[in-house]
Structure 1
Amino acid sequence: MGDTVDGLSSKRTVFVTVGTTCFDALVKAVDTLEVKRELSRRGYTHLLIQMGRGTYIPTTSPGEDGSVAVEYFHFSSSIADHLRAASLVISHAGSGSIFETLRLAKPLIVVVNEDLMDNHQSELAEELAERKHLYCAHPQTLPQIIAGLDVESLLPYHPGDATPVAKLINHFLGFPDD
């Protein structure tokens, strides 16, 4: 079901990141048997969870049904390598994590942390989901979002070019054109 190399099934990793905060609701959601079975059914073999300041410890022993293998860590100096190696990313709604994942053209499910006050991050995630660049979920809807996941339907995100704006600002401030 996964990608094959010389007829052998290769590792397909789902990388989960909560950033530097505590988002135990997301870690608990991906640690459910329902989510693990659905990921396994879709050909994912490993679940790597970056859990930040969270205290909930995910189950690492493989399920009786042969579902995905689980590893976790709290922090890393850089998650870039984990993002690059991932086949699917499940992330909190932090703009840095979202745009870094989109820049790498990785399929992305953003899970909104409903415990945050004045959550402007959810607005960003919902807008990008409307534009079909990613999927947006809440911890309780994550199993259904994974079940309906169609990564082929996602559109590539092309960041805007800030050059014209920078030139206009430079012109307004009296700096010479380059």
Structure 2
Amino acid sequence: MKRVFVTVGTTSFDELITCVSAEDSVRIFKSLGYSQLTLQIGRGTVVPEAFSAESFTLDVYRYKDSLQEDLQEADLVISHAGAGSCLETLEKGKPLVVVINEKLMNNHQLELAKQLHQEGHLFYCTCSYLAARSIICKLGRLVSHI
């Protein structure tokens, strides 16, 4: 069972949660062989409805004491660009796609994501880039090279 884990840490990043939980995104995850999508939504106001179908499960939660189990079980991690989330994921050796929250002041997350990308550790993009239907398919192929 292939799993995607999405985390926004303790922040609110509704745009990312909306993007990855959209029907088109779920369909693309399924086509790439994923059968579970787990969303850690933090303080967000967007709360997708969890469901379990024959071929796909969507789980949603705000916080846990530790993300270790979700990170360990994930085959792909999609994360905000918080330093803690990035480093914790990379320590686990998991393919990581970092989505930059362009609405943050000074966009310090972009600097971290660019540096880690240049070093070959992750792929990064914005929500508008991720939202393009074909991009998730491309990411599915790209992460195998990270």
**Which residue in the other structure is 1:94 paired with?**
82
Contact 2:51–2:59, Cα closer than 8 Å, also in 1: no
Determine the structure 2 residue equivalent to 1:57. 47
- Report the count of equivalent residues: 142
How far the C-alpha of 1:21 sits from its partner, in A, is: 0.8
With normalisation by structure 2, the TM-score equals 0.89
Q: How many Å separate the matches in 2 of 1:123 and 1:85? A: 28
Give 1:120 deviation, angstroms.
1.0
> 1:138 maps to what in 2?
126
TM-score by length of 1: 0.74
User: Which residue number corresponds to residue 115 of structure 2?
Assistant: 127
Which residue of structure 2 lines up, in the alignment, with residue 116 of structure 1?
Answer: 104
Cα distance change of structure 1 residues 121 and 101 upon mapping to structure 2, 3 Å threshold = same
Distance 2:22 2:96 in 1: 19
- Give the alignment's Cα RMSD to 1 decimal: 1.7
Structure 2 CA distance for partners of 1:67 and 1:56, relative to 1, 3 Å: farther
For 2:125 and 2:55, how far apart are their aligned partners in 1? 22
Q: Quick check: 2:21–2:48 contact (8 Å CA) kept in 1? A: yes
Q: Does 1:153 align with 2:145?
A: yes
| Structure with bigger gyration radius | 1
Specify every segment of 5 or more residues in structure 2 that has no aligned partner in the other structure, as ranges: none
User: Gaps spanning 5+ residues in structure 1: where?
Assistant: 1-10, 155-178
- The match for 2:38 among 44, 48, 51 is 48
Alpha-carbon separation, structure 1, partners of 2:137 and 2:114: 19
Which residue of structure 2 aligns with residue 26 of structure 1?
16
Task: Please identify which structure carries the higher strand content.
Answer: 2
Q: Secondary structure at the match of 1:118?
A: helix
Identity %: 43
- Higher helix content, 1 or 2: 2
